[in-house]
Amino acid sequence: MANEQSTGDSLPTKVAAAKPDPAGALTTDVGNGGELHQRDSGTPLTTNQGVPVSDNQNSLRASTRGPTLLEDFILREKITHFDHERIPERIVHARGTGVHGVFELTESLAQYTTAKILTEVGEKTEVFARFSTVAGGAGSVDTPRDVRGFAVKMYTKEGNWDLVGNNIPVFFIQDAIKFPDLIHSVKMEPDRGFPQAASAHDTFWDFISLSPESLHMIMWAMSDRTLPRSLRMIEGFGIHSFRLLDAQGKSTFVKFHWRPRLGLQSTLWDEAVKIAGADPDFHRRDMFENVSAGNFPEWDLAVQLFTEEDAAKFPFDHLDSTKLIPEELIPLKVIGKMTLNRWPNNFFAETEQVAFCPSHVPPGLDFSNDPLLHGRLHSYLDTQLSRLGGPNFHQIPINAAKVPVSNNQRDGHMQMSQPVGRVAYEPNSLMKDGPRESTRGFRSFASAENGTHARIRSETFADHYSQARMFFNSQTAPEQTHMAAALVFELSKVEHPHIRETMVSHLRRVDETLAQRVATGLGMKKLPDPFPTDTPAEDMPPSPALQIIGKMKDTLQGRAVGVLVSDGSDSALVNAITAAITKAGADFKIIAPHIGEVELSDQSCLKVDGQLAGTPSVMFDAVAIILSDDAAAKLLKEAAAIDFVRDAFGHLKAIAVDAGAKALLDKAGVQADAGVVDAGNAAGFITAAKTRQWDREPKVRNLP
């Protein structure tokens, strides 16, 4: 029997009845949250004190959907140990790029919150944003298939607000107690120290195959979202539901979204791999060059606002971080704009030492009962104590609030301030003007928690496939193909057949055609049975807002075009093409067989930005090739020139060519199509360059 429970943070829910283990016989079991447990099949799992652990999947909560309890010593020990595994490099998000900027509120949320940053229209707030990969170390490359961190520190009038999220709106797990296991699985395998910054290996997919809750995130991870063209062209999400509180303490739930004004754009997998070889710092360099040139990237801040009553009608649980709220269900409301306009003075002092904590919020914001969020509220602060030497990390300039800090915290490692006076406690009668509580201070939402005090997961968290299916069905045909190809590539690196088979059995719950495409790509003779579940997927309406290709902006702004020239190149064509690129809002770089200058047909000299062998076409969104006949004849024997053309065509880019360049295309075996434009047609080239030539893709590679 399941009994009804109600919590102060949510909908009525059902608590799954406990499933007794057969006497010592159970090795695996689908638990109350739908995840696989492994019991009594090996050495007992214990705490560091030798205490056997009965549940390694669920944090201790006050009620089924209630808050996580500080009492949970197993959760705290596990995450605390995990947070301190690396010194001083971040364990996750180690490779990052940070930029200073400003946030301006354009629409007030005064009816929902007292937070001044969200109520004072026109107010400009200093920010520091850090973008990062997740899995790799600080010395890894910029362009692996990986989630991107998107963290923003806002130095508000009421203290710092850290909005710490990713470029994907959901996460792999539902409960923070599983986070160390997730990251251990995706990091380098401990017996061999590789692969670096890659999920294509056994331990990651073994964990995923045993964690059905991860299937929605896997669809995102295998999509083009994890191969961004630029950090200036990614979305950011706060992931969790937070609360806005008004002056009376009334709560409204909120989810935060950053939307890039340049629009979304991704690379292809083959392109990302080649970029990593050509420029491991591709994203960092792209951000640096654009900010330095005054091409300041901008994002709109949008919110989804909903009430407890709205949430009760959702066909999913908003406290489950593996779920998103489709925009078609709760539309986005744009309330402000962030502009990044200043590169750090020193990378280590700022980008490396910046400390983000989701627990840093100003008055007027509060937390929901999301169990993943509750673990993060502890974990991030604990991590800073290890990375930055102790409890005074907030005094490092990049972390310091822009408003006065006044409290009774004293001493500690790396104490930089010099508090005065004999009083370091409160209440006191000896310092009349000392720090005191304030009516404007932070207040928590008053909720009533009624339910089972236990390690148990709500049955409202049990649907692991419906949103995975929705995400896949929302994609354009090319994006679906890329997802299938990514799954084939990743799983082809897995040595153990049973892991591959289990993953395909999960995919059958998401989409039969996808599962068949992946199985065929892996050489499977037959499909495994669908993965057993008590909660099969339901068909949710597709959400076109989840696409990249379908909502790409018709623009070349913020992009880069490579112009390959030589001595004797037609000056009129070169000038016309570069003028058209500039007018379209894009940047261009002059590429030539040699560095220095080239002399064009009119004897004018043109500065060269990159030598051909070191500046391949993968660095650009489109290419123009304008060559003299003599130069073209020489380049027919140059592998870098053939690769320049072949890769541009294979990566579905627009190519402008003159007569000399056509010989190069012939040598590369390129069959001209609508994306190959005569260099004399600058306007036509710009039109073609604004998108990829998706119709070309089936002609240049075999896809599942």
pTM for this entry:
0.90
pLDDT (average), residues 509-536? 97
CA distance 672 to 655: 9
At 83-122, the pLDDT tens digits run 777 657 788 998 999 999 999 999 999 999 999 999 999 9
**Amino acid present at 218:** I
Confidence class for position 4, pLDDT limits 50, 70, 90:
very low
pLDDT at 13: 47
Which of the following is catalytic: 37, 93, 216, 257? Answer: 93
pLDDT (average), residues 554-580? 97
CATH entry 3.30.565.10 includes domain 96-172+212-218+225-395: no
Q: What is the DSSP string of 129-159?
A: EEEEESSS-TTS-S-SS--EEEEEEEEETTE
The mean predicted confidence, pLDDT, of the chain is 91
- In which residue are the tokens 């990091």 written? 187
At 627-676, the pLDDT tens digits run 999 999 999 999 999 999 999 999 999 999 999 999 999 999 998 999 99
**Amino acid present at 413:** H
Please list, in sequence order, all residues whose beta carbon lies within 8 angstroms of the beta carbon of residue 344, skipping any fewer than 6 positions away.
98, 99, 100, 350, 351
| CATH 1.20.1370.20 domain extents, the chain | 466-549
| CATH 2.40.180.10 domain extents, the chain | 96-172+212-218+225-395
Annotated catalytic residue 408: no
CB atoms within 10 A of CB 199: 25
**Domain at 556-700, CATH from 3.20.20.80, 3.20.10.10, 3.40.50.880, 3.90.950.10:** 3.40.50.880
* DSSP code of residue 615: S
- 277: exposed, middle or buried (Cβ count in 10 Å: 0-12, 13-18, 19+): exposed
Closest residue by Cα to residue 471 from 533, 531, 539: 539
For 116, 160, 357, 364, 383, the CA distances from 154, given in Å and listed in that order, are 12, 6, 12, 15, 20
* DSSP code of residue 49: T
Confidence class for position 19, pLDDT limits 50, 70, 90:
very low
* DSSP code of residue 45: P
Which of the following is catalytic: 166, 369, 392, 399? Answer: 166
Annotated catalytic residue 201: no
At 359-418, the pLDDT tens digits run 999 999 999 999 999 999 999 999 998 889 888 888 999 999 998 888 888 888 888 888
* pLDDT exceeds 50 at position 22: no
pLDDT at 14: 45
* Residue 697 CA to its chain's centroid (Å): 26
CA distance 266 to 349: 31
At 62-84, the pLDDT tens digits run 899 899 988 787 888 788 778 77
If DSSP codes are grouped into helix, strand and coil, which group holds residue 396? Answer: coil
CATH number of 466-549: 1.20.1370.20
pLDDT at 6: 42
Please list, in sequence order, all residues whose beta carbon lies within 8 angstroms of the beta carbon of residue 24, skipping any fewer than 6 positions away.
40
* DSSP code of residue 61: B
pLDDT at 566: 95
Q: pLDDT > 70: what percent of the chain?
A: 93
| CATH 3.40.50.880 domain extents, the chain | 556-700
